[in-house]
Amino acid sequence: MFNIIRASLFKLIKDWTFRITMMVGIGLAALLIGINAGIGQLNGQTMFLSSVSPSQNFGLTVPINLVVFTVSEFTCGTIRNKVIAGHTKFKIYAGLFLTGLVFTMSLMIVYLGVIVGLSSAIGGFDANAIGGGTFIGCYIVYFLTSYIFVTALSVFFGALLRNIGGSISISVVSLVLLGMIPLIITLAIGKEFNAANVQMWINPLYMLGLYANSSSIINFLHNVGADTSAFYMQNAQMIIAGILTPLLWSTILFISGAFIFTRRDLK
């Protein structure tokens, strides 16, 4: 397993798709900073909220490039060579997922570091404006668990279809819908922070999709006041759902993908 992951990571570092995507992310971060600075709305907290969504902006490039990387493992004969070398199919699929996870987190952490760091340096970062340390900590956890799901989804369809066009289409459309539905329903019915809302137990991107819009945070603070810690203590199920739901779907996708992969012919 270690050798599989090491070989995949070495290929990832040398992969031009990964390098180009990283450069695009840095360029996009600079562009968005310039636009927001030009309209007088640049600050670190707003860029932090709006930059993590996998259904918009740079977040959409992650599943696209992850699918390309995964499918290339099949089309270039890398998977077949690993099987010939004696590695089990389960270890190979697990290696694809773990490498994809490194791919995903590397891109997003660099992108967020640049856009939030520069925005904060120029326009400041007011943690209290978005709920303080409690909310920021929860939001970071939502980000991490959501992108684990993004990785599991992209690798699943990439390995299942082994076709770049089809895999990208299904992955991107799925993520866009999952990311936008929470905000659409919230705006439509006005039930923004209902802890009993079944959406958060079904949709793996519910919490991240809901809070990615800065207006949602403004409404949140208006509804619960400054004592956000007390609010979260009373509604711990929201935090639990934001963590467990994407992890549960990630587990389902990983197990399903590994099961199909181990029983499917490589041809």
| Domain range summary for the chain, segments of one domain joined by + | 2-263
pLDDT above 50 for 51: yes
What distance in Å separates the CA atoms of residue 28 and residue 183, rounded to the nearest whole number?
Answer: 24
**The pLDDT of residue 155:** 96
Which of helix, strand or coil describes residue 204? coil
What distance in Å separates the CA atoms of residue 52 and residue 82, rounded to the nearest whole number?
Answer: 34
pTM, two decimals, is 0.87
Q: Pick the range with the lowest mean pLDDT from 18-22, 63-67, 218-222.
A: 218-222
What distance in Å separates the CA atoms of residue 115 and residue 42, rounded to the nearest whole number?
Answer: 11
Exposure string over 49-64, b if 16+ CB within 10 A, otherwise e = bbbbbbbbbbbbbbbb
Q: Supply angle C-alpha 44, 208, 215, rounded to 5.
A: 55
pLDDT above 50 for 196: no
User: What sign does the dihedral 95-101-107-110 (CA atoms) show?
Assistant: negative
Residue 154 exposure: Cα atoms within 13 Å on the Cβ side = 32
pLDDT above 50 for 236: yes
**The pLDDT of residue 148:** 96
Pick from 143, 232, 242, 136: nearest CA to 199: 242
Exposure string over 145-173, b if 16+ CB within 10 A, otherwise e = bbbbbbbbbbbbbbbbbbbbeebbebbbe
Span 203-214, mean pLDDT?
76
Based on the number of CB atoms within 10 Å of its own CB, is 66 exposed (0-12), middle (13-18) or buried (19 or more)?
Answer: buried
**The pLDDT of residue 195:** 42
Residue position matching structure tokens 């570092």: 13
Span 89-101, mean pLDDT?
90
